[in-house]
Amino acid sequence: MKKMKLVVIGNGMAGIRTLEELLKLAPELYEITVFGAEPYPNYNRILLSPVLAGEQTVDEIILNSIDWYAENGIRLHLGKTVTRIDRTRRQVIAEDGTTEGYDRLLVATGSSPFILPIPGKDLTGVITYRDIQDTQHMIEAARNYRHAVVIGGGLLGLEAANGLKLRGMEVTVIHLADWLLERQLDPVAARLLQQSLEAKGLRFRLATQTTELRANGDGTRVGAVRCKDGSEVPADLVVMAAGIRPNTALAEAAGLACQRGILVNDTLQTFDPRIYAVGECVSHRGTAYGLVAPLFEQARVCANHLAFMGIGRYTGSVTSTKLKVTGIDLFSAGEFMGGEGMEEITLSDPVGGVYKKLVLKDDQLVGACLYGDTADGTWYFKLLREGRKIAELRDSLMFGENNIGDVGHEGHNKAMAMTESDEVCGCNGISKGAIVKAIQEQGLFTLEDVRKCTKASGSCGSCTGLVEQILMNVLGTDYSDAPTKKAVCGCTDHSHDEVRKSIREHHLLSQQEVRQFMEWRTPNGCATCRPALNYYLLSTWPHEAEDDPQSRFINERAHANIQRDGTYSVVPRMWGGLTNPDELRRIADVAEKFKVPTVKLTGGQRIDLLGIRKEDLPAVWKALDMPSGHAYGKSIRTVKTCVGDEHCRFGTQSSMQMGVNLEKMLFGMYSPHKVKLAVSGCPRNCAEAGIKDVGVIGVDSGWEIYVAGNGGIKTEVAQYLCKVKTDEEVREYSAAFLQLYREEGWYLERTVHYVARVGMDVIRQRIVNDAEGRRALYERLLFALQGAPDPWKTSEAAGVDWRQFRPVQLAAVSEGFLP
């Protein structure tokens, strides 16, 4: 079959990103041609400011080398401006007469700086700030001249002014509005910013209109800027940075509907369905975006449709702001100005140079404006995008996410304050410098990119916030946050919720059905989605969907924990942490017989036998003759207990018995992630119930139940759910909560994150207030766990594949083991 022709007008970040996404999905579908007006391959326009400031070179910001185009079979016309689109003949024609036919056309013509229509705008030395050429003009001018004026105190203008100052010029910024960055900052933050920039030597004229650019004495170039009040500012170089306009002339001439941008629908199609448009030239639902993050979201959706996958929709972006001026920390997002019906929380320390304003509406964070301390910008941005209810957080919202410290990176929570050699990712040993270097050299834009490339934050994830901050600091405005809707993995664009919903509503019973129904891109998934699908099927349709052992991580397949040397650890179950001489004797015998190198007490009140060879596992289980402890599963682990009123002089309730009962009830329960419980017999809480998924604390009149605690990467205190009287109630409420988590949690999401996502109010409503719903949940859990097999004892029922414990011995097969 002859390939279809795809022509791209515009060789910038949006157009080329679309091609990259397209090549990932359908590398062979199109014969691709790209027209670029600039003589350079695709480069990282975001990093022009560091180039101007002398922190990077032009070569360093190239994203796709000329070779990249060749390797992907893309015909590249550099330095050729397209002048006409002939929609009838389906051709594009360039200035020099080059003509290319298309089946699909992608318009990514970007935007141009707005040139003030004032006398003198055409004088030599008057430039805009948009591309490599402009940047080189500025660098050149800084070498030969002294005075520079930047018109426009927006993001681009301030970055230009800062760069010129660093290159030794005297710089004045003339700004029409009453304060700097009026679209990103409120007046208070803007004043702090102005002070910092003034301290760097920049000068400002605010609320000032430029009326004329005057030539110098001999008329060879610009010499001064004249303001409306009649005053003049000397200027050998004038940079116009008063906004951008989408480049729509080409599209308009071709008869495509435009309105402050080329109009596109949610699939990035223009009014001619063969013609797509992405990037700064586009107007989507009335908004034209000038930042990279939204453009990349558009690129992904557009590529999806060009590849005939037809499942993505672009529904607009929420953007945030960060200025790329070294030493200045500011962040804003959403409705940071506040207004009618909104509340504000502010913290102001003018001497310390810190100002924070949070804007709330209807129990949600709708805007944030931070100056001086922006460490929590990414967190606020996340809360804002997700529209999370923040009633519970309100008291501590201002103090940020990190008032409870993460572990693993020496307590750092401010990326800016870290040195290049400070370790960010303690799991993989990645320093801040290595991450910054990767972002700059490899053109990374998202957290996912950084994870793939450097491994930072890819293991335990506790440093995710730091990596996001570093991304934001390096990329500034164009930091691309992860999309609100997160796909399960690279095999699909569907989210965990969507997958769960389809499985439930369409009664899907096998992974194959799910993958077909939801149009998976891979025939049998990957190591990320297979375990998730397997869990979703089993938890939604217990006793109906069939377990697929090959879709389980090795620990759940071998029913033991793999260790770094390939041996396994075995943890037998001790109900409620109780044991007896018989069990201890058997454990001792096993340890001797199988020469177990390490015997250790676990934090969950049991005994761990470490260093067991895989082929010995079945014999070890048999000799132990104890139930599986499931210490290897995304499942119920332990119920830790204190001694309680049977022995303890302070005990008010029988915590040991309660622990045993709970553990027996939950035996064999698989869940999105591991689940740990604890029962304490009095409020002294010796069983540490405050950091467990479900914590039960006995009081004189009954039991208090706490949920969603966590003692791991980030210590999270469990939240109070309710107080009940009877033992049966403890079982019912605990089980109902866990069943809710099992039905709605995302795979690998701990209870603390699940509860944070849906809100404690929802949990209380469904477990405490809705008695009927609670009982139904309780019954569903009991039904799911009916006859749950013990993989160590009734391994056939548990679907354990015995072949895995029998390695093929070369000596045996050499002697004719096989016919």
Partner 1 sequence: MSAIDNREDWLAVLMLDEIPVLGARVLEGAVIGPVAVFRTEDQSVYALRDRCPHKGGPLSQGIVHGHRVTCPLHGWNVELESGDAVAPDVGCAGRLSVKVEDGRVYLSKAELAGGA
> Exposed, middle or buried, 669 (CB in 10 Å: 0-12/13-18/19+)?
buried
**Per-residue contact track with partner 1, 673 to 692, x per CB under 8 A?**
--------------------
Residue of the chain from 368, 558, 571, 636 that contacts partner 1 (CB under 8 A)? 558
Q: Are the C-beta atoms of residues 738 and 676 closer than 8 Å to each other?
A: no
Rounded to a whole number of angstroms, the minimum distance from the CB of residue 549 to partner 1 is 8
Q: Point out which span in 185-193, 757-765, 779-787, 801-809 binds partner 1 (CB under 8 A).
A: 801-809
From 230-238, 429-437, 562-570, 618-626, give the range in contact with partner 1 by CB under 8 A.
562-570
Residue numbers 532-551 binding partner 1 by CB under 8 A: 549-551
- Contact with partner 1 (CB under 8 A): which of 452, 485, 600, 775? 452
The neighbour count for residue 603, using CB atoms within 10 Å, is 12
Half-sphere exposure of 348 (CA within 13 A, CB side): 12
Count other Cβ atoms within 10 Å, centred on residue 585: 10
Q: Which of 78, 93, 509, 526 binds partner 1 (CB under 8 A)?
A: 526
* Residues across the chain: 819
In Å, how far from its chain's centre is CA 278? 23
Quote the tokens at residue 557: 């397949």
The distance of closest approach from Cβ of residue 747 to partner 1 in the complex, given in angstroms and rounded to an integer, is: 14
Give the residue from 617, 690, 704 showing the smallest Cα distance to 652. Answer: 704
Question: Strand runs (DSSP E) across 378-532, as ranges?
Answer: 423-425, 430-431
The CA–CA distances, whole Å, from 192 to 153, 181, 690 equal 14, 12, 43
Q: Rule CB under 8 A: say whether 269 interacts with partner 1.
A: no
- Choosing from 530, 634, 674, 774, the residue that interacts with partner 1 (CB under 8 A) is 530
Contact string (CB under 8 A) for partner 1, positions 394-433, x = contact:
----------------------------------------
Residue 487 engages partner 1 in binding (rule: CB under 8 A): no
Q: Which of these ranges, 41-49, 95-103, 463-471, 555-563, lies near partner 1 under the rule CB under 8 A?
A: 555-563
Among the candidate windows 257-265, 554-562, 602-610, 781-789, which touches partner 1 by CB under 8 A? Answer: 554-562
Q: Map residues 285-324 to x or -, x wherever contact with partner 1 holds by CB under 8 A.
A: ----------------------------------------
Determine which helix (DSSP H) or strand (DSSP E) holds 703, and give its type and residue range. strand 702-707
Give the nearest distance from C-beta 749 to partner 1 in angstroms: 18
Please pick, from the candidates 68, 114, 271, 553, the single residue that binds partner 1 as defined by CB under 8 A: 553
Scanning residues 456 to 475, which ones bind partner 1 (CB under 8 A)? Answer: 459
Question: Is position 527 an interface residue for partner 1 (rule: CB under 8 A)?
Answer: yes
Residue 742 CB, shortest distance to partner 1, in Å, is 22
When asked if residue 807 is in the footprint of partner 1 (CB under 8 A), the reply is yes
Say which residues have a Cβ less than 8 Å from residue 754's Cβ, sequence separation at least 6. Answer: 672, 708, 741, 744, 745, 746
Q: Is 1 exposed, middle or buried (CB count within 10 Å of its CB: 0-12, 13-18, 19+)?
A: exposed
Strands 210-215 and 222-227: antiparallel
Least separation in angstroms between CB 444 and partner 1: 11
**Which residues, at least 6 apart from 516, have a Cβ–Cβ distance to it below 8 Å?**
none
Q: How far is the CB of 609 from partner 1 (least distance, A)?
A: 19
* Interaction of residue 516 with partner 1, rule CB under 8 A: no
Query: How many residues line the site for partner 1 (CB under 8 A)?
Result: 32
- Of the residues 217, 523, 581, 787, which one makes contact with partner 1 according to CB under 8 A: 523
Backbone angles phi, psi at 293, to 5 degrees: -55, -50
**Nearest CB to partner 1, comparing residues 315 and 563:** 563
CB of residue 258 to partner 1, shortest distance in Å = 41
Give the integer Cα–Cα distance in Å for 671 and 604: 18
Q: What SS3 string covers 133-160?
A: HHHHHHHHHHHHCCEEEEECCCHHHHHH
Q: Which of 308, 564, 581, 649 binds partner 1 (CB under 8 A)?
A: 564
Residue 362 as a binder of partner 1 (CB under 8 A): the answer is no
* 808 in contact with partner 1 (CB under 8 A): yes
On whether the CB atoms of residues 440 and 59 are closer than 8 A, the answer is no
Q: Is residue 671 a contact partner of residue 636, using CB atoms and an 8 Å limit?
A: yes
| Residue 531 in contact with partner 1, rule: CB under 8 A | yes
Query: For residue 411, which of 398, 428, 423, 421 has the smallest C-alpha distance?
Result: 423
The least distance separating partner 1 from the CB of residue 596, rounded to whole angstroms, comes to 19
Q: Nearest distance from residue 802's CB to partner 1, in Å?
A: 11
Least separation, in Å, of the C-beta of 626 and partner 1? 24
Q: Are residues 314 and 284 in contact, defined by beta-carbon separation less than 8 angstroms?
A: yes
> Please, which residue, 334 or 531, has the CB nearer to partner 1?
531
271 lines the binding site for partner 1 (CB under 8 A): no
Report the residue number, 650 or 817, with the smaller CB distance to partner 1. Answer: 817
- Does position 815 interact with partner 1 (CB under 8 A)? The reply is no
Amino acid at position 691, single letter: I
Q: How far apart are CA 196 and CA 190, in angstroms?
A: 10
Neighbour tally for 451: CB within 10 Å: 19
Strands of 559-644, DSSP E: 561-562, 568-570, 598-601, 607-612, 636-641
Pick from 354, 393, 436, 453: which binds partner 1 (CB under 8 A)? Answer: 453
How far apart are CB 461 and partner 1 at their closest, in Å?
13
Q: Residue 566 interacts with partner 1 (CB under 8 A)?
A: yes
> Would you count residue 2 as binding partner 1 (CB under 8 A)?
no
Query: ∠ at Cα 812 (806, 814), nearest 5°?
Result: 135
Interface residues with partner 1 (CB under 8 A) are: 452-453, 459, 522-527, 530-531, 549-551, 553-554, 557-558, 562, 564, 566, 801, 803-804, 807-811, 813-814, 818
